[in-house]
Chain A
């Protein structure tokens, strides 16, 4: 048990930041992201004995995180997300640095993408290799490259549109 806990701690320390980014990018809401991250790591703990080194452990964890995010099916999500983000940005604007404010704005722009685009772009931003993203999302690498190119343009356009106002 102690060995499992030590292994889990190591896995958590190495991956929690990126999993949080993925969940935040998907939900656009830090509280929901925390819930989804917690749910993801609970599932990682429950399935740890089943991990057989068929892939990298990070790929395996991302797959769980992606599927956990996909199960997050709040119907009113998009609207609620935007409202929450507006509120977060308004109330925290003074407290946070200028850079952090821009990061919040970036998350708000990611929230406007399609669900799979949100998942893919947060992984791209976190510099996860394309081959791994392809494996996690179940999309062929060739197709993924085309998608990534399109999402990058889309996100940059949304961000610059917001920055102008």
Chain B
């Protein structure tokens, strides 16, 4: 049987750990960013590239119908919107000031952030898909001048099937998985918040 003071003495005889060194941390700081921000950054860069390519097409090619121009405008707006949201989140997660908050406030921030990301990945993504579908539909009007009716019909059917699969299968699976994960995470954060409440 040990009392708490004996546990405390035991605590102080523990070996020095040979883990992370000061140099290793400085090297990490200089070389890399954490995984999450790197992932977000790569998203932002790939979207920026697509926006630039779309802008190039918009400027260099001559289109015959206004619907195609509208379609490209919708695509660019969607991409820019998506990119701005990603940049905003990237900056928010990199803003370490919140780390200096009291744990209770920090947990509340984490909860709000996770819920925001969930909304972005589900509801906003639906709106984004709908806008892209409209843009594609508008482009089909121009396409109808150049390709045969059969090819056009085939393209429309393939596109509609792809969007239906995305919406009713992939999206549903994704939302289900995300909401389960989020619920578990939020419950855990709520549990933590209760623990730190006075």
**CB closest chain-A residue, reference B30:** A45
Q: Please state if B7 and A73 are interface contacts (CB–CB under 8 Å).
A: no
Q: Please state if B7 and A125 are interface contacts (CB–CB under 8 Å).
A: yes
Contact partner, A100, options B14, B25, B192, Cβ 8 Å: B14
CA distance A152 to B6 in the complex (A): 12
Whether A12 sits at the interface, judged by CB under 8 Å, is: yes
Chain B interface, >50% SS class? helix
Total interface residues in chain B, CB < 8 Å: 45
Interface string of B170-198 (1 = CB under 8 A from A): 00000000000100110011011001101
Which residues of A lie under 8 Å from residue B184 when comparing CB positions? 75
Q: Please state if B99 and A37 are interface contacts (CB–CB under 8 Å).
A: no
CA distance A139 to B195 in the complex (A): 10
Interface string of A135-165 (1 = CB under 8 A from B): 0011110010000000011011001100100
Whether B59 sits at the interface, judged by CB under 8 Å, is: no
Which residues of A lie under 8 Å from residue B22 when comparing CB positions? 8-9, 12-13, 16, 41
Q: Please state if A73 and B188 are interface contacts (CB–CB under 8 Å).
A: yes
Q: Closest CB of chain B to A37's CB: distance in Å?
A: 6
CA distance A55 to B190 in the complex (A): 28
Q: Which of A1-53 contact B (CB under 8 A)?
A: 5, 8-9, 12-13, 16-17, 20, 24, 30, 33-34, 37-39, 41-43, 45-47, 50
CA distance A126 to B8 in the complex (A): 8
Q: Please state if B10 and A103 are interface contacts (CB–CB under 8 Å).
A: yes
Given contacts A8-B22, A34-B17, A138-B198, 17 further A-B contacts (CB under 8 A): A13-B22, A42-B25, A42-B34, A45-B29, A47-B99, A60-B100, A68-B99, A75-B184, A103-B13, A103-B14, A106-B7, A106-B11, A115-B191, A126-B11, A137-B103, A156-B3, A159-B7
Q: Closest CB of chain A to B17's CB: distance in Å?
A: 6
Q: Please state if B4 and A20 are interface contacts (CB–CB under 8 Å).
A: no
Whether B28 sits at the interface, judged by CB under 8 Å, is: yes
Q: Please state if B26 and A8 are interface contacts (CB–CB under 8 Å).
A: yes
Q: Please state if A46 and B96 are interface contacts (CB–CB under 8 Å).
A: yes
